[in-house]
Structure 1
Amino acid sequence: MPGILVWVVIGAVAGWLASILVRGGSLGLLGNIVVGIVGAVVAGWLLPTVGISLGSGILGAILAATVGAVIVLGAIRLFAK
């Protein structure tokens, strides 16, 4: 159970940070959490594939999830048009 809570907190922080970085990217609290979690999954797959490591620990996880969330918000904006 604590692992799920950590994913939700990291997702919320990453989604919130990504919504600040991407103009008009705010999807509300639940949307930011979902975008942050999906962004963490995307970053967990994409960043090692291209040889990028943002460190370990909670800060590295938040940074990676934020990068992934920005990518997800960009994809949402691209397909929403």
Structure 2
Amino acid sequence: DPDGAGPRLFFQRVPEGKQAKNRVHLDVRAAPGLEGEARMAALEAEAERLVSRGATRLQRHEPAPPLSGGFIVMADPEGNEFCLD
């Protein structure tokens, strides 16, 4: 978004080949600025909200500083994976 008002999209090459039907994998920022338990609680709340709307929760990855603040892997109703980050 040139005006900086909308969401940002980043494209990243990965060494792995395509494993399934996904063409795009989204990381949805659901806890910006939060860390530790507060971050994971915000991610859990968003995961519950999305499950109530048809998403499926797949995995929870605990924080592993300094590289990962923790995230939750979800799938939309068609099975396309995305992460709450």
Task: Say which one has the larger Rg.
Answer: 2
TM norm structure 2: 0.29
Of Structure 1 and Structure 2, the greater helix share is in 1
Of Structure 1 and Structure 2, the greater strand share is in 2
TM norm structure 1: 0.30
